[in-house]
Structure formats: C-alpha cells, structure tokens
Amino acid sequence: MTTVLNVSGVNKRFGGLQALDNVNLKVEEGQTLAIIGPNGAGKSTLLNVCIGRITPDTGSVEFHGEILTGKHPYEINQAGVARVFQTPEIFTELNLLENVMIPALSKRDGTYHFNIIARMKEEKQIQAEALHFLEDFGLEEQRFSDAGSLSRGDKRRLELAMCLVQHPKLLLLDEPTAGMSRLDTNSTIELLKKIKERGMTKIIIEHDMQVVFSLADKIVVLAQGAIIAEGTPDEVKNNPKVQEAYLGDEHA
C-alpha cells in the first residue's frame, strides 16, 4: 500500500492560538480517513494545511512525495486533489452537463488551453464522459437544466460528479452533509459508500457521527489542535479519552 498523504510534525499558530499541535497523519491509498473533533479543534485548519492553502509553521505535508504547500488551488487540483465544500460550489448559471464537462476539460487540457478552434458540441469524448458520470449519480435527466435550480442534495451529487470525473487521487470532503435534511444526508451517505467501493482515497471532516461511522476506515480525533486518538471506528468509539473530549459532550 502506498501512502497518498503524509503529514508530519505540523504546528500552526494563529496569534496566541495553537491551532495545530504536532500533528502526524498518514493516509493510505483506498482509505477513508475521517477527522472529527469539537468545534474549534482545528479540523478546517488541518484540511487547509493538507491541501497547502495554509503554510504550517513547522513540519511538512507531502502528497505522493510532492510538497503542496503554498501552491494555487488549480495546481493542487492538477496534482490530483479534488475538493468538496461545505456549501456546494458549482457553476449555478450553467447546465449540469457543462458543469461536469468543465472539470473533465481541465483534466485533459491542463491549467490553461487557448482552445477557440474546437466546438463544445464536437467534444464528443468529454461529453460522453460527463454524461456517464451524471448517469452514475442519477442526474442525467436534468442534464440540460441550470445547476442553480437543483435541490441541496442534488447540488452535492453534482459537485461529487464534478470531482470524480477527474479521477482524483485524493478526495477531500468538508462536512459534506452540513445543512442537509435527513433524506438528503442518507442519500449522500449511500453515494459516498458507492464511491468508497471504487477504492477512492478520501478525507472527510464531519460533525455527523452517523456519516463518520458508516464510512470511515480510520478516524482521527482532534482536540485543541492535537490528535488525541486515532484508529478504527470501534477503537475510537471505545477510547475513554475521546468520550471525554468529544462524545462525552454529546451524551451529556
């Protein structure tokens, strides 16, 4: 098994706040890693460090042996990292097919390609690929409607389709079910399980324990910037430290 992401000895301070405290983390290929922790534990900071948006004070982050720190989002994406946001970031004014064709194009053409010769109508291969992914996510019926008109759950589906059409090496999910109804949450979980079966490497940040325990292979628990526990879902569930720091809060 190869290591996809290797975070070693990362410290990050914001003024007086120790946001990350000597964090070590390894994500193996095909693994689904969940990062959980109470509010303000440093989950988002860690995620941003992982994709190079925040430069750590000390320590290093390697993605397939490559250092991502300080790179632009498009470079990170081209390196093979796709990202899902808390609120779905999609091209609301464009139709679903175009939404999925755009990432497919960037996968094929790179960060910039001055292509005014081709017609989108004749990009048959890109179109077929986009359509395939829309079908996979049950969105092919709506392929000609504007993405802005979708329901919250469908927007998330579309965003996932846009990420997966690029066949990323690592998928980052930042609270993928935040603000969703139970129904939408369940369908999203099903979707993520399906993606997991394909062997996609993922990092999930999530509040919803149902999501975490039904998806994760490995869970990392953060509290005040430090990892207080890690292991399989069962190990973490039974760890008294975790119950005290995090689960304890909820059961109280």
- By CB under 8 A, residue 122 contacts another protein: yes
Residue of 45, 77, 185, 187 interacting with another protein (CB under 8 A) = 77
Q: Determine the interface stretch with another protein among 19-27, 94-102, 180-188, 200-208 (rule: CB under 8 A).
A: 94-102
Q: Compute the distance between CA of residue 137 and CA of residue 139 in angstroms, rounded to an integer.
A: 6
| Number of amino acids touching another protein (CB under 8 A) | 42
Nearest to 29 by CA among 148, 154, 199, 168: 199
- Binds another protein (CB under 8 A): choice among 14, 17, 58, 93: 93
Binding range to another protein, per CB under 8 A, among 28-36, 88-96, 221-229, 236-244:
88-96
Cβ-based nearer residue to another protein, 21 or 146: 146
Pick 94 or 189: Cβ nearer another protein:
94
Report the alpha-carbon distance of residue 35 to residue 229 in Å, rounded. Answer: 10
Residue from 66, 109, 141, 249 binding another protein (CB under 8 A): 109
Beta strands of 64-151 (E only): which ranges?
A: 66-67, 81-84
Give yes or no for residue 15 binding another protein (CB under 8 A).
no
Give yes or no for residue 227 binding another protein (CB under 8 A). no
According to CB under 8 A, which one of 166, 185, 187, 201 is a site residue for another protein? 166
Burial of 101 (0-12, 13-18, 19+ CB in 10 A): buried
* Cα–Cα distance for residue pair 179/85, rounded to 1 Å: 12
Q: Which stretch binds another protein (CB under 8 A): 37-45, 63-71, 74-82, 173-181?
A: 74-82
Least gap, CB of 141 to another protein (angstroms): 15
DSSP 3-state of 19? strand
Question: Is the C-alpha dihedral spanning 178, 184, 185, 188 positive or negative?
Answer: negative
Nearer to another protein, 9 or 73 (CB): 73
Q: Provide the total of helices (H) and of strands (E) in the chain, helices listed first.
A: 10, 10
In the complex, least distance from residue 4 CB atom to another protein, rounded to whole angstroms: 18
Long-range contacts of 17-22 (CB under 8 A, 24+ apart): 18/224, 18/225, 19/45, 19/225, 20/45, 20/46, 20/49, 20/56, 20/225, 20/226, 21/224, 21/225, 21/226, 22/59, 22/226
Residues 21-60 that bind another protein (CB under 8 A): none
Binding site for another protein (CB under 8 A): 72-74, 76-78, 82-83, 85, 89-95, 97-98, 101-103, 105-107, 109-123, 144, 162, 166
